[in-house]
Amino acid sequence: MVRNVQLPNRSAGVQLHPTSLPAGRLGDDAYRFVDWLVAAGQSWWQMLPLGPPDRARSPYKATSAFAAWRGLLADPGAAVSGEEIEEFRARESFWIGDWEAVAGGRRAAADQVRFDREWGALRAYAREHGIGLIGDVPIYVAPGSADHLAWPRLFRSGEVAGAPPDALSQTGQLWGNPLYDWPALQRRRYRWWTERLRRTFELFDVARIDHFRGLVAYWAVPEGASDARGGRWRRGPGRALFHAAALELDALPVIAEDLGVITEPVERLRRSLGFPGMVVMQFGFDPDDPHGPHRLENHEHNSVVYTGTHDNDTLRGWWESLPAPTRDAAGQQIAAAGVEEREPWWSVIRLAYSSPARLAMVQAQDVLGLGSEARMNIPGRATGSWRWQMAPGALTAEHAKRLRAATEEAGRA
């Protein structure tokens, strides 16, 4: 039996990766952001993956599924004792040796000790102030990562990860990540995944599993293909992975990222596990899709509503690029709900807050009313993404007051 930790009935939070803090790392800025969240009536801080990013700075292609990035450290030169390193190695024995072999032995372990020290202090501070932390688990590991090198028998050869052609791309998406050999993982009782989730819940109160649908069926593309059109669907592990993890872990506080073309088996798995899914306000105003799950009237209680995700444009950039019919449809919904503001992006924030969804998340860029220049990333584009940072003092007391008012009005404070 999988025990999921239910989110509060009505709460709200802000998504901001630590690299987008003014200093781009943990430290004073992170504590000030927690203070700002409290002033704004928020309950959650959501982040992207914390692993060492690739050359394009993408945290979704980290060189380890377990290790944290040294670049997040506020004090990378802090002293670490030999006893601390040995204690950490004993506690994280499943993965730390693999990471040391790739990243430089004792120094790499010392950095993880530093991170756990800084992170533990920040998490305790957040918890004392009523702020929960939400993390992100990419479904795949990066090619050539510590995990790929240390566990070659857990991955398939001859095929790589991707997504099939759809309305957004005639050639599909060729991600290139190694694909899991699910029978091999099953023979090992999914130990690698269980340990990965264990580490995740050591750091976060809740975690979003990216590309959840890939655990039911995934798109496998022949290695060396120029695009994803020649791929095929292959079966994933389904419930078995979560049942194996539940035998070892106390609970699985998971949000399922179920965006895209979601089939009935994917929906059935998510519901059977009790995991909340996701809806995105930017997808909810298509006049030709009145029955879509992202439309406000179709939102469900056991879900998380986002104004947009890291893959989307900012609300302001999105609004200013909308075709007239979609903008008119959005304006009609906003007027009908009585949440019109002088800035349309704030209207969408208030509309999201009115959703029956358990949790409502906004991006910091949308609270600030920033345009497309502040977009976190553009899917499929390797350069220019993952670089946005707030200016010092950008989130003001006035921003907090305005967001708190909207949060309280919606009963989410």
Nearest CA to 46 out of 397, 309, 388 is that of 309
Tokens of 170: 């005639």
Is 257 assigned a catalytic role?
yes
Please identify which of the residues 100, 118, 159, 257 carries the catalytic annotation: 257
Q: Which of 311, 320, 340, 341 is catalytic?
A: 311
3-state DSSP call for residue 135? strand
Residues 6+ apart with CB under 8 A from 133: 44, 45, 46, 47, 123, 126, 203, 204, 205, 206
CA pair distance 265, 68, nearest whole angstrom:
34
Helix, coil or strand: residue 162: strand
Strands 44-46 and 132-137: parallel
Find how far residue 132's CA is from the centre of its chain.
Answer: 14
Q: In sequence order, what DSSP letters do the residues of 290-342 get, joined into one string?
A: TT-TTSGGG--SSEEEES--TTSPPHHHHHHT--HHHHHHHHHHHHHHT---S
Structure-block tokens of residue 300: 């469900």
From 210, 258, 313, 366, the catalytic residue: 210
Pair type for strands 11-15 and 44-46: parallel
Alpha helix ranges (H) inside 79-104: 82-91, 96-103
Taking residue 187's Cβ as centre, other Cβ atoms within 10 Å add up to 12
Q: Is 26 exposed, middle or buried (0-12, 13-18, 19+ CB in 10 A)?
A: buried
In three-state secondary structure terms, 360 is: strand
219: which 2 tokens? 């798109």
**Which residues 6+ apart lie within 8 Å of 364 measured at CB?**
14, 15, 16, 20, 390, 395
Long-range pairs, 35-39, Cβ under 8 A, ≥24: 35/129, 36/395, 36/399, 36/400, 37/13, 37/129, 37/131, 38/129, 38/130, 38/131, 39/397, 39/400, 39/401, 39/404
Catalytically active residues are 210, 257, 311
